Structure formats: structure tokens, C-alpha cells
Amino acid sequence: MSVDTKPNIDWDSLGFNVTETKSMFRATCALDGQWSGGDLIPYGDITLSPFAGVLNYGQGVFEGVKAFRSAKGNVVLFRTDMNGKRMAFSTRRICMPEMDPDFFVKAVIKTVKDNIDFIPPYGRGSLYVRPIVWGTSAILGVSPTPEYTFMVIVSPVGPYFKGGIKPLNLKVNTNYHRAAPKGIGNAKAIGNYSASLFPLMEAKAEGFDENIYLDAKEEKFVEELGSANLFLYKDGLLKTPALNGSILGGITRHSVCQVASDLLGITVEETEITVDDLLSADEVFCTGTAVVVTPVGLITHKGETREISQNQMGPIAKKIRETLVGIQREEIEDPFGWVIPVK
């Protein structure tokens, strides 16, 4: 697509797929260096050595961010500073040059501004932003690669669920683990997602939407889905698995906890949750950048299926979602300063 060409997009037909945009941001850094510089380049394919560290040893981390057109007519981001801080942790954990959160946010804003024509109209989708870092240079021995590339790529996307939100049908997976204690489950590393693909395809072949994974040590406590955090509500308490080193600390997860406690007056507990706790809950829902807040309607464990909240979105999940989305889209006041304007 020419950089001067306005996009011709049917906004109402947008799915959660890749659409070619105008530009992308690229910067490079040595292993012992600091992130700086970088610039926008035309969107397109990249060249990579077949011996690149990311291809051979999986040295790569990424983030997921959304830009919206708000109810006030602004273009806004949501808590992108938190994504930058998480990428700083992830890069450090995977032995890459540590990301500077301020550099991260500026690169995201620069990319969004240059692709502003690709942001769907208010209420009809968002611009999905994918900041990613990978080991670039060729390397044969098992060690950190000397050079790294940081890119910010974007694509307009429609609602994650076409035709409205549908409760998920989940399976408690007792055959596979997503992550293990003292591993990299708490980093947003590319390998964590490839590890969940085979169990996901098995679950989908059996008619499920996703897996619920248990802790790898005792196989007793619920952790998360392959790409989302998990919550349950019962007897006035909202519970989510405590961050134990193998669970990714989701930005949406953190936001839900704060919205529930500070705005809705709901007591929130970050604690150990058993499968029995989950199956006896009044409501269960998952959270993430893509799914936002999505209810769970059916949970199957060892061949037995339990219906949650009559296989519908419960009132607590509904209120939390409405409040969170309202803040993101400037439909209601943002008391936390989470919304970042793109100027």
C-alpha cells in the first residue's frame, strides 16, 4: 500500500486478522546497549538470517496494546506505560537489552499517529498494536545473540467476538502445563504461546474454546488460560489466582482488580484457587487485551461438565466489563489516569 493512499476498509467486516497498514517502527540495540533512536519505515516484509537467535533459540518477547477512537472524538491508548514496564521485565528475563518503558511508549504513540487513518470509527473496533523484540543476529552456540530488533506493528481489528459476546466453553487440561515454577511463565515470551498451541488444537477438536491450566507443581490450583487470566465470583468475593511466578501479570487483570475494588466496592482476593472453587462459583470470566472481560459458561473437568451462571454473562462480569470499556473509550470518567491521549 502506498504511504499516500487512504485505506479502503469495510469497518463492519473487520475480523481479528492482519490488515496491511502504512508504516511500522524499527529500532536496533546491542546486547550491552540501551534502546534509543529508531524510526518509522514502510510496512512490509523483513529480512532475517536463518541463524537468527529468535529462530533458533526463541529469543523473543512481545506485547499487545489497543488504540481506540473514543466517545470524545480522541485517539487514545490504555495503560501503555504498564505494557512498557512488563516488556522491560520480559526482555531482562530472556537475556535481552532491557526495554526502556518511556522509549516503548513513545515508539507506540509514533506508530499509532502515523497509522491513524487505520483506526476504526468509535465503537467499531480498534487498532491492535504489537510491540515485539527479537534476537536478530546469527548465532550457532546457545547464548544470547549480540544484536536485537524492536518493532511496533499495527493492524485494525474488529470486535473479538462477532455478533456479541458468547460465554466460553472451557476444559480443565490435566495432560499439559502452560508453565512451571521458576520458569518464564510470568514473561510475555513467544515460546509460552507456541507451547500452548498443541493443547489448544486438541481442545478445539473436542469442541472447547480454550484450556484452563493447572499449576505444574501440585496440579491442584487453577492458573490461567493459554492467553488470558481467570477470575471467579462467589459470595460477594472476586478471586483470581495469585501471581506465583508462572502466571502472566495481565494489564487487564490488574485493571479489573482495581475497577472492582475501587469503583464497584467488591472485595478482591488474589489467592490460590482449586478446580472445586471454580466449579462452585457463581460467575467465572477471563480477561485480556483481546477478550477484555469474557464470561465462561461451561467448564469440563475429568469428563464432567458444569454450567456457570446459566451459560450467560453474570451481572458482576457485565458491570466490570461495562466500566472498564467505558474508561477505555472515554465514555465515563477515568479516575485512575489510565487513558493516554495520542497527540
H/E element, 157: strand 147-157
Distances (CA, A) of 182 to 1, 63, 139, 187, 196: 45, 21, 26, 11, 18
Closest CA to 216 of 170, 252, 178: 178
Cβ neighbours, 10 Å, residue 234: 15
Q: How far apart are CA 5 and CA 18, in angstroms?
A: 18
Decide: 120 and 127 in contact? Cβ < 8 Å: yes
37 burial level (CB within 10 Å; 0-12, 13-18, 19+): exposed
75-78 vs 222-225, strand pairing mode: unpaired
DSSP assignment of 113-142 equals: HHTGGGSPPTTS-EEEEEEEEEE-SB--SS
Decide: 314 and 282 in contact? Cβ < 8 Å: yes
Closest CA to 204 of 231, 237, 226: 226
- Establish whether 72 is a catalytic residue: no
SS (H, E, C) 51-116: CEHHHHHCCEEECCEEEEECCCCCEEEECHHHHHHHHHHHHHHCCCCCCCHHHHHHHHHHHHHHCH
Catalytic residue (choose from 188, 217, 234, 343): 188
Cβ neighbours, 10 Å, residue 57: 17
As given in the structure block, the three cell numbers for residue 88 are 522491560
DSSP assignment of 267-310 equals: EEEEE--BHHHHHT-SEEEEEETTTEEEEEEEEEETTEEEE-GG
Decide: 280 and 232 in contact? Cβ < 8 Å: no
Catalytic residue list: 188
